Structure 1
Amino acid sequence: MKVLVAIKRVIDPYVKIRVKSDGSGVETNNVKMAMNPFCEIAVEEAVRLKEAGFADEVIVLSAGETSCQEQLRTALALGADRAIHIDTESHLEPLTVAKLLRAVMKQEQPSLVLLGKQSIDSDNNQVAQMLAALTRCSQGTFASMLSTEGDGVTVTREVDGGLETLKLTLPAIISTDLRLNEPRYASLPNIMKAKKKSMQVITPDELGVGISHRQQILAITPPPQRQAGMRVGSVAELVDKLKNEAKVI
């Protein structure tokens, strides 16, 4: 059984984001990049499924510029068997990403597709749901627990009211949440082995997917800086400021 894992290259979550002076985007030159944290969880879960004997092969996929191959090599070092890079310099919207994944699914015929529930740069949380709709596969989003059972999988997902447990038939699409697992670190021997693992490079045209844009970014601005706090000498002074200055009471 094949498991396909989609990953994304993003700015390292521990790096302070800087907006470009023209407001067209965020600065990425000379900025440390990393695999999206939710995608790391998806890779870890796929590798665990293989170690448990449920999966025979783990394939990782990423779409974007050539620099994406760095994160694909990281996923290979974490235990994935081979990688697919969809090479494009175009900005990809969620629907386009879902269509690219659908095209790869037709070629690879995976039984399970794992994705991070969202990327930390755009925070759209849309690709998994769109992919399930396009492929008519069963889906489980926000997975905090996953277990295999016969020819299906059981997913516990986090919802507003608590936890919901679903039994999915294969093929299935699952988006991973933070509490699903703790990703491992790549060891030096595995990093060296990853350099020899297969990485296929294809283009959207080869997959028969046209890239179109339905959204236009008008401007990106940093959030306003927090104002400094102040000390008050009494409860009466606090109430006065809340009422007359902050006007919250």
Structure 2
Amino acid sequence: MTTEQNPRLSISQPIVGYKVVSAEVEPEPATEVKQDLEQVHENLTRPDFLMGSTYKIKTPMSEHALYITINDILLNQDTEHEQRHPYEIFINSKNMDHFMWVVALTRVISAVFRKGGDVTFMAEELKAVFDPKGGYFKKGGKFMPSLVAEIGEAIENHLKMIGLLQDESLDQHQQQILDEKRAEFERRAAEQKAPLDNSAVNDDNGGFPADAQICGKCNTKAAILMDGCYTCLNCGDSKCG
């Protein structure tokens, strides 16, 4: 069709630019907005306020208790990613015998906390420290290989409390099985007419049988001999499978 046939196609002004328009205009792809989450790092400024928790440790090695305070920084506050992260640790006691290594330990642990990343390994490393002079039993029958190991357990409990570690407690089904094993053990002991001081439950031992052995998994004096192998009434560990 020419301009003579259709006057609307005539160009009355000079062309200053042009653009090719396709029949279907595709929308621009939506770009994902990445949310910058707060992370702990070395250059993070310490806030004026930190939430903290204090744990008391009383060992037979000293007449004075040890108080462990762990302060947390709150990341991504008021969002779905809100999370507490340990920032620093303090250990205080009236007993000054271990003052030098306690101060050194708190500074090293605090430095690891402020470094950021996964700090849960710190608890396992401390719990693996053994005192060459021997450990001790806590109230409840749990064996502690050293004072450092108990500090590691306090840190582990704190990490579980703020959600950085999962609590490996027994579920309802596992607890039911352990209760049945304990009832069977007590029934057999009664049938054999074992001495009371050998089979009775000891409150200082966490309610476990007084003649229970130390469990190699949870270090609690709660392993009993049944059907030719030891079964722990605390964590359920058994050589029988």
Considering the TM-score relative to the shorter chain, is it more than 0.5?
Answer: no
Give 1 or 2: higher strand fraction: 1
Rg larger in 1 or in 2?
2
Higher relative contact order (CA 8 A, sep 6+): 1
TM-score by length of 1: 0.28
